[in-house]
Each structure stands twice: as C-alpha cells, then as structure tokens.
Amino acid sequence: MNTPKIFVVGAGTMGQGIAQLAAQKGHDVCLYDLHSIALEKAKSQIEKSLEKLVEKGKLTQEKQVEILGKLKFVNELHEVSHSDLVIEAIVEDVAIKHKVFIALEALASEDCILATNTSSLSIASIAVALKVPSRFLGIHFFNPATLMPLVEIIPSVLTDPKITVKAKAYIDGLGKDTVVCKDTPGFIVNRVARPFYGEALRMYEEGMADFATIDWAMKTFGGFKMGPFELMDYIGNDVNYTVTETVFEAFYFDPRFKPSFTQKRLKEAGLWGKKTGRGFYSYDSNEEKPKPNTDEKLGMEIFNRILSMLVNEAYDAVFMQVASPKDIDLAMVKGVNYPKGLLEWSVAMGPEKILATLETLFLEYGEDRYRPNPLLRKCVREGLILG
C-alpha cells in the first residue's frame, strides 16, 4: 500500500498532534486552518516538539528536517484535492462540521476517505450531510495524539465496510493500536470509563470518603496510576463534566451515566483542575496536600465498588455489541492506561464477586444505576468467559 497523503483540518492541539504524528511516520501532510495565526502557532508548537525529541536523543537533526519537510501549513481547502485521507479535528459542533465536510467533499478525490476525530458526536449525524456518506467514518485519537497509543475507528450505519478496513490499515500504519466500535455515545473509552469518575463522585457526595482517600484506594488496591479526582483535575473538570453530560443525555438520561453536582459546580466556578490551579485539589505549592484515610477495609470497599461498576459497563458494551471483548479490554488499557482490561480483571477476581457487589448495591439503593448487566449474570450462571 502506498503511503497515503493526509489532510488534517483544524490546527488546534489535536490537529497539530495528528499532523505531527503522520509526518513522523513518513506521510506528506497538509495541516489546514482558516486562521493564519492558528497555523503559525501550530507550526511553532510542532517545531518545539520535534526539537525536544532531538534534545532527548530520540530524533536526529536530519530526521527533524525531513519531518518538517513533510508538513505543509495551508489556509486553502482546495489543497485537499490530492489527499487520500482527511481527518477533521475542529470544534464539536455538528452544523460547523457539516459546512466543512460539504466543502471538502466537493474538492476531494472520489477515493479520498473522509473522517472526523469527534469524541462526543454521532458519526451518522455528521455523515448525513454528505452526498456519498459511505466513505465517511470516525477516527478518534486521544490527546496527545503523538503519544497516546489508542485510536477508535467508528463506522456509521452508512459507512462502506471496505472503507472501515482501509481506514484501519492507514491508522495501523501510524503505529497505533486500533479498535473498531459501533457508533454509540462515548464509543468505547468514554462510555466504559464513566463509572471511574461517577461512582467516585457519588461516594464522596454520600460522605463515604474524601477525594484523597478515594484516590489512595484506587491506586493502592487497583494499581491505577492516578485516582479519579487526580485524573479529573488532569483532564479538566470543564472537559470531563461535559463528556459525562453528553453521554448521559445521549443515553436518554440513563441513571448509570448521571453527572455530579459537585463536578458541575467546579466547572461553573472555573475550578477546572491543574490548568486553573485548583479543582478537587489545590495546585498551590505552598498548600499542604490532604492526607488520605488509609483504613484498609474502607479502601477495599471503595475499590470493589468502583471496579464492579466499571466491569458492569464493560459487560454492557459487549452485550450491546459496541465492540468485541478483546477490543474493549485493549481500549481501556491503551486509551486510559488501566492496569488491565476490565473483562480480564473480572475473570481474575471472579465475576460472581462483581455480581454480588452490584446486587448488594442494587438492593441497598433500589436505583437502576446499579442493575447488573444480563450478560454478567449469564456468565456467572453458565461459567462463561468472554474473550
């Protein structure tokens, strides 16, 4: 397969990351943005990024020059005419994306694949604006695109299966771990990961434990590199809350995805986490960090509750045919750096233990939020192992 020419739309953080990655892998890349200032900033950021790789000995100066020679920064859409793959990474607004793709479709060759990097919009809702929606799909990179190994490939109900195979091959060629998933809210990662944040917030709001204790429990007993509140502060409460709200609404307000008033208030107050200096924690170096309650029994209770909710969501994703068990586990390990796949974890712990935790919660609360998935029940009843 010839090295495809790639056209990236949008010179923001995601766009420039995708463009840099593709150029580093030997592709000729056009990075398009309507605004010249955004292009200049993107070029500067990419140059700095490559310079750091040279300083660390991960890149020679000759290779740096070669990569920069692969990149073209343009503010004219007609430059797309010789491209094999378009990846759009602009604002999450369907109407704006429609305008961009209508213009791109008129200029791109018939064989060019059109893709969106959306993380929260349905692929079908964007594809419907095209005359030939069969060549359109989702290609969802994670930030930073140059470093994060996972890419979700999301065909819509209108996508030609051959286009999915071809697009996956292109992204595999970038050295990424690709997973194919159904066009449902949150795809794999942003759907399955919701309880990591949501159940942690719920326990805090109930007064079961504070932020530091919940984070300590998940790191100590689960082996997670970051606890839920540390991770929300790192992602940004503005971003994390919006994703939760979007998934909740898209699932017709299913209580499993219900957002938290605690995080909503932080978002409203501009306390977004590390980038604003304060979120669930203060990032003022003069302030003492809160100490967790290191009671082992409490810690295990916290860990088991959050993990059981995560595993239940992973079973639901299999049950609803969002993706294969293998791809779901791969997505959670490579996309959000979980210590192991959730389905694999359930086997190691015993799915009957997960089911018992969920049934206890369901009996205690009487909320649909805690309903065990039918597939989990079946696996326990029949001794089935997903894989």
Q: The pTM is what?
A: 0.94
Residues of the chain with CATH 1.10.1040.50: 191-380
Statement: residue 156 has pLDDT above 90: yes
Statement: residue 105 has pLDDT above 90: yes
Statement: residue 387 has pLDDT above 80: no
Q: State the catalytic residue, choosing from 119, 156, 237, 308.
A: 119
119 catalytically annotated = yes
Quickly tell me which residue has 């309880």 as its tokens: 195
Q: Quote the percentage of the chain above a pLDDT of 70.
A: 99
Residues of the chain with CATH 3.40.50.720: 6-180
Q: Dump pLDDT digits (tens) for 7-50.
A: 999 999 999 999 999 999 999 999 999 999 999 999 999 999 99
Q: Which of 33, 101, 37 is nearest to 72 (CA)?
A: 33
Residue 257: predicted pLDDT: 96
Mean pLDDT over the full length of the chain:
96
Residue 29: predicted pLDDT: 98
Q: Which two tokens stand for residue 330?
A: 């791969």
Contacts of 111 (CB under 8 A, 6+ apart): 84
Are 115 and 138 in contact, with CB atoms under 8 Å apart? yes
Residue 42: predicted pLDDT: 97
117 catalytically annotated = no
Q: How long, in residues, is the chain?
A: 387
Residue 291 confidence class, pLDDT cut points 50, 70, 90: very high
CATH class of the domain defined by 191-380: mainly alpha
Q: State the catalytic residue, choosing from 88, 117, 140, 344.
A: 140
152 catalytically annotated = yes
Residue 2: predicted pLDDT: 74
Q: State the catalytic residue, choosing from 105, 152, 313, 344.
A: 152
Residue 120: predicted pLDDT: 84
Q: What angle do CA 358, 360, 362 make, to 5 degrees?
A: 65
Distance CA 88, CA 108 (A): 13
Query: What is the CATH number that goes with domain 6-180?
Result: 3.40.50.720
Distance CA 188, CA 193 (A): 8
Mean pLDDT of 120-129: 96
304 three-state secondary structure = helix
Residue 313: predicted pLDDT: 98
Residue 1: predicted pLDDT: 55
Burial of 2 (0-12, 13-18, 19+ CB in 10 A): exposed
2 catalytically annotated = no
Q: Dump pLDDT digits (tens) for 196-218.
A: 999 999 999 999 999 999 999 99
Provide the sign of the torsion angle of the four alpha carbons 77, 103, 126, 171, taken in this order.
negative
Residue 381: predicted pLDDT: 97
Distance CA 96, CA 98 (A): 5
